[in-house]
Structure 1
Amino acid sequence: MSSFNTIGLIGRLASANTQYSINRLVNFLSKRKVKLLLDEETSTVLPGEGYPVASRVELAKKCDLIIVVGGDGSLLSAARAFAGHPVNILGINRGRLGFLTDISPDEIETKVSEVLDGKYQTEERFLLNSEVMRDGEALSEGLALNDVVIHPGKFIRMIEFELYINNEFVYRQRSDGLIISSPTGSTAYALSGGGPIMHPNLDAIALVPLYPHTLSSRPIVVAGSSVIRLIVSEQNNLNPLVTCDGQSQTMTQPGDEVIITKSEKALTLIHPEGHNFYETCRTKLGWASDTGNT
């Protein structure tokens, strides 16, 4: 008897390895006799199999477990679709690093079976909400599990902006941009930018400058309840982009405001029993595994 009634399946289609894992997973789930729904795009790699197909909107309403086969990018996309819904997300890694998709391909049957038998850990992650304002009206809105980034796009030029936290002026900065990261995103782009690693359970947001035009500018960690506001300087001669998780973007213009807050929508991740954040860091980041015993 499965702990979950209806399972949705999402996979990244560009990879032959991912398609192999999807087929392997579907065959396994069929033997477990669970109710399975395939994402519309994912169903194209299983033609003629006869499995029910649903949009992501339908999956959010009908499923209590979503299994994502792919890399962290695939899970980030799923996160924005299912955040705020009573559905759990389980990741099978077919990408490179795999901080969020933590089941390896050769463990599919073993680990997924354990999850279906109720042997798993849950973890709630918060998302960031980004809103671009122009002349007092909302131009666009986006969600990000990892980060919201303001940057110059394809141009190799510095941009200028003012930063306010809870309506208090912090600084005017010229740099290649700014990463506003959740704890989940602290091991992603923000880490490459020199930001701190934050435990996923922290209620905090990190602001990481990208190549600032001053040696004294450093990452700042603020409370998760903070309202972060960026004003795009009138001095810019280009149109900076605001990107959510590297997958959706909005072009700004001088005078626009970008407001980032903690979203009311949360995401529930599932990990196999024994999952440990620090062990993941050791494995993925190549930290020394010596326990210090002599």
Structure 2
Amino acid sequence: MSEFQNIGLIGRTENNSAVLSLKRLMTFLEGKGFSVVLEKETSLSVPNHKARVSTRDKLGELCDMVIVVGGDGSLLGAARVLAKYNVPLLGINRGRLGFLTDITPDEIEQKVGEVLAGKYLVESRFLLDMSVTRDGKLVGKGSALNDVVIHPGEFIRMIELDLYIDNQFVYTQRSDGLIISTPTGSTAYALSGGGPIMHPKLDAISVVPLNPHTLSSRPIVVEGSSEFKIIIGRQNIANPHVTCDGHDQIITEPGNVIRIHKKPDRLTLIHPIGHNFYEICRSKLNWQNGN
């Protein structure tokens, strides 16, 4: 008997191809006798189903595993909610790049079947917690599997900020913003900003300036246990925005303090046998293949 009996499903409902894959996956799971639990919003795209329905939060309590059908963004959203439950996530790619959702639609029965039979790899990823305080009072918070990004918002204006790591002053920087990235996020926005690619097993965090005013300002990589404090400069004309994985947007004011550190809860990702980070990089980033 499989260790996974209650399978939660989250789908990218606005994507027709994702809905088709979701229905195909449901048919496969129910045909094999597994109990399917549909996330509430996802259930609206599957009329006349007979599965249980749950809020996304409750999936973590009801399920032994959650399968996400969509792109990396869909999996990021699920991870932020479900990491605290320690329920493993498996991704079926119906997006574009697919660094996290690594089963292709035509492999659903084969690869999901192998996972349910106990043939899989387990990977642990850490997330970041972020908070913003104003005059000592909490005004917003969020969590991120990829990155926390400070940016100007609607208008492109230079931001001034002070960066501290583990209570040690690093620099005052003028730039278009700052990306604080996990290894998971190092192949996302941080990569576009010129940051380093970090292997997912690394316990490290990268700090990537966005178009810094000085050419000597470069990305740095620090320990994963590092605590970040970023003070928004009082001379800023713009009110910088803070986002976590592109969500949980908070508009800051001059003098506000942003704190970022590793989240205590970790995400458990499941991959099919044969999953290879470097092979994914070669495929998704068009690295050259050897002869």
* TM-score, scaled relative to structure 1: 0.98
Equivalent residue letter for 1:78:
A
CA offset at residue 85 of structure 1? 1.0
Query: 2:105 maps to what in 1?
Result: 105
CA contact (8 A) 1:64 1:86 kept: no
Q: Which amino acid aligns with 1:262?
A: K
Pairing 1:94–2:94 present: yes
- Give the drift of 1:3: 2.6
2:142 matched to which residue of 1?
A: 142
The CA distance in 1 between the partners of 2:86 and 2:230, in whole Å, is 33
- Which residue matches 1:21? 21
Residue 189 of structure 2 is matched in structure 1 by: 189
C-alpha contact 1:2 1:34 (8 A) present in aligned 2: no
How far apart, in 1, do the equivalents of 2:158 and 2:25 lie?
47
User: Sequence identity of aligned pairs in percent?
Assistant: 62
Q: What RMSD over aligned residues (CA atoms) do the two structures have, in Å?
A: 0.8
Structure 2: stretches of 5+ with no match in the other structure:
none
CA contact (8 A) 2:12 2:70 kept: yes
Matched, 1:164 2:164: yes
- Secondary structure at the aligned position of 1:59 is classed as helix
Q: CA deviation at 1:141?
A: 1.3
| Secondary structure in 2 matching 1:83 | helix
Cα separation, 2, equivalents of 1:77 and 1:139: 22
Question: Offset at 1:184?
Answer: 0.4
Offset at 1:48?
1.3
Q: Distance in 1 between matches of 2:2 and 2:119?
A: 11
Contact 2:146 2:181 in 1 (8 A): yes
Letter in 1 for 2:154: K
SS of the aligned residue for 2:74 comes to: helix
Task: Report the count of equivalent residues.
Answer: 291
Alpha-carbon distance, 1:2 to partner? 2.2
Partners of 1:81 and 1:266 in 2: CA distance: 11
Could you say which residue in structure 1 is the equivalent of 2:229? 229
Matches within 5 A, 1:1-294: 1-290=1-290
Where 1:248 maps in the other structure, the secondary structure is strand
Query: Displacement of 1:31 after TM fit?
Result: 1.0
State the distance in 2 between where 1:126 and 1:114 align. 26
Output the CA distance in 2 between the equivalents of 1:102 and 1:124.
15
CA deviations over 1:110-145 (Å, ceiling 9, x no partner): 100000000000000000010101111211111000
2:248, 2:21 → 1: CA distance? 27
- Runs of 5+ consecutive residues of structure 1 not aligned to the other structure: none
- Shift of the alpha carbon at 1:175? 0.5
* Aligned counterparts of 1:166 and 1:229: Cα–Cα separation in 2: 8
SS in 2 for 1:126: strand
Q: How far has the Cα of 1:196 moved from its partner?
A: 0.2
